[in-house]
């Protein structure tokens, strides 16, 4: 079994204006207890993992000693030829922490950049500036960690096309192997929502999405998933586990996993988790749900899925099963079919409209 492992670290030193993830302000004693609970939860696992992803929150908010404990613990679960990713925020990192990453075999770092525009970073309540990102990338590379991904947000309040172009020019010059893009959504219970801040409108966001696609593909990036770009061979193996519907284990408060046909989410209550109580929400994925998940997840990918593979897994002919939906999608020029089915490149921004046809 080549499963993947996700570990959630819910602590952050500050709260970003748009954030609706499950996170709390960093507290040293709480974080130390949390790491003990992670260790207990992981002890149930006898497996090694091809990919491990430590996300958050912000794992880099942990102290040097705590990060050392976390990496000591998790690196024991690495299989051969692994991908070991950690999410970091630039302002949390220093040379000592970077050396720890290298020491324990972390070979992929995902940096919460969002934008290289200091004015916009301020609006997002991010605590770094663009020079912090440049320094961090240089330091990671100096220490032999070349596989770097960044998060890039667009559709920000007050962001113009010129700002976006500037971000993309910087990214190109940095030769980063992987970029995850996110349109800003103003979710309930976020600082933006409370303050009545609005993201750019749909048309402007669509223009930006399109511009990002054209720019990055021109410079050699492949949009392998609706919002993710990579240079050849630098796709996120861990995230492909999710999109290809394969199994993964989730550890930590609010972590989700998928094992033995069960999708589960650990308790969302940090207090419960710290007290050793982990009441999971679980959902058994039967054949019908499995098919829908397979379709929805795979159509996020630029190359969709193979019709033969679908037939092998579900013992039915996809084109026959969904013939009405497919006819309509072809009439609307939304999909292409050869031996595979996939969403047309220029229709990826409205992927959800395609997915609606398969959600019954």
State the sign of the Cα–Cα–Cα–Cα dihedral 280, 285, 286, 288. positive
Q: Is 89 in the site for ligand SF4 (CB under 6 A)?
A: yes
Applying CB under 6 A, what is the total number of residues that bind ligand SF4? Answer: 11
Closest distance between ligand SF4 and the C-beta of residue 190, in Å?
Answer: 9
Ranked by CB distance to ligand SF4, the top (closest) residue is: 19
Q: What is the dihedral of CA 174, 177, 183, 184, to 10 degrees?
A: -60
Site for ligand SF4 in 263-322 (CB under 6 A): none
* Tokens linked to 78: 């690495």
Site for ligand SF4 in 207-226 (CB under 6 A): none
249 bridge partner residues: 5
Closest distance between ligand SF4 and the C-beta of residue 57, in Å?
Answer: 5
Q: Is 19 in the site for ligand SF4 (CB under 6 A)?
A: yes
* Selected binder of ligand SF4 within 3, 4, 7, 23 (CB under 6 A): 23
Closest distance between ligand SF4 and the C-beta of residue 115, in Å?
Answer: 13
Closest distance between ligand SF4 and the C-beta of residue 54, in Å?
Answer: 13
8 bridge partner residues: 55
**Residue 86 vs 334, nearer CB to ligand SF4:** 86
148 bridge partner residues: 109
**Residue 50 vs 126, nearer CB to ligand SF4:** 126
Closest distance between ligand SF4 and the C-beta of residue 171, in Å?
Answer: 19
The number of beta carbons lying within 10 Å of the beta carbon of residue 281 is: 11
Closest distance between ligand SF4 and the C-beta of residue 276, in Å?
Answer: 24
State the angle between helix axes of 202-218 and 161-174 in degrees (0 to 180), rounded to the nearest 10: 30
The residue range among 16-24, 92-100, 257-265, 275-283 that interacts with ligand SF4, by the rule CB under 6 A, is 16-24
4 bridge partner residues: 51, 248
Q: Is 12 in the site for ligand SF4 (CB under 6 A)?
A: yes
Binding mask 42-81 for ligand SF4 (x = CB under 6 A): --------------xxx-----------------------
CB of 278 within 8 A of CB of 266?
yes
**Residue 3 vs 8, nearer CB to ligand SF4:** 8
Site for ligand SF4 in 110-169 (CB under 6 A): 112
**Residue 20 vs 302, nearer CB to ligand SF4:** 20
Q: Is 16 in the site for ligand SF4 (CB under 6 A)?
A: yes
Q: In the complex, which residues of this chain contact ligand SF4 (CB under 6 A)?
A: 12, 15-16, 19, 21, 23, 56-58, 89, 112
């Amino acid at each position: 079994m080549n499963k993947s492992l996700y570990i959630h670290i819910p602590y952050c030193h500050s709260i970003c204006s748009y954030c609706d993830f499950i996170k709390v302000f960093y507290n040293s004693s709480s974080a130390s207890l949390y790491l003990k609970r992670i260790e207990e939860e992981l002890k149930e696992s006898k497996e090694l993992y091809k990919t491990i992803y430590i996300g958050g929150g912000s794992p880099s908010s942990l102290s040097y000693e705590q990060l050392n404990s976390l990496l000591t613990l998790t690196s024991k679960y690495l299989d051969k030829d692994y991908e070991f990713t950690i999410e970091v925020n630039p302002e949390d990192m220093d040379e000592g922490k970077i050396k720890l990453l290298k020491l324990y075999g972390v070979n992929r770092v995902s940096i919460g950049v969002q934008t290289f525009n200091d004015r916009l970073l301020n609006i997002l309540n991010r605590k770094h500036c663009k020079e912090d990102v440049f320094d961090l990338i240089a330091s990671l590379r100096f220490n032999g960690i070349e596989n770097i991904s960044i998060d890039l947000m667009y559709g920000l309040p007050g962001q113009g096309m010129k700002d976006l172009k500037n971000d993309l020019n910087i990214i190109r010059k940095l030769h980063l192997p992987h970029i995850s893009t996110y349109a800003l959504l103003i979710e309930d219970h976020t600082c933006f929502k409370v303050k009545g801040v609005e993201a750019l409108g749909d048309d402007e966001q669509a223009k930006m999405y399109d511009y990002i696609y054209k720019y990055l593909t021109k410079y050699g990036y492949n949009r392998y998933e609706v919002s993710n770009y990579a240079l050849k061979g630098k796709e996120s193996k861990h995230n492909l586990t999710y999109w290809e519907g394969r199994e993964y284990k989730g550890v930590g408060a609010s972590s989700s996993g998928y094992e033995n046909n069960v999708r589960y989410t650990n308790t969302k209550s940090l207090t419960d988790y710290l007290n050793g109580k982990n009441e999971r929400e679980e959902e058994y994925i039967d054949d019908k749900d499995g098919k829908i998940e397979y379709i929805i997840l795979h159509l996020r990918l630029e190359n969709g899925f193979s019709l033969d593979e679908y037939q092998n897994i579900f013992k039915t002919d996809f084109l026959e099963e969904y013939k009405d939906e497919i006819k309509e999608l072809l009439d609307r020029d939304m999909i292409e079919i050869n031996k595979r089915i996939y969403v047309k490149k220029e229709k990826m921004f409205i992927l959800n409209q395609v997915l609606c046809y398969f959600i019954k």
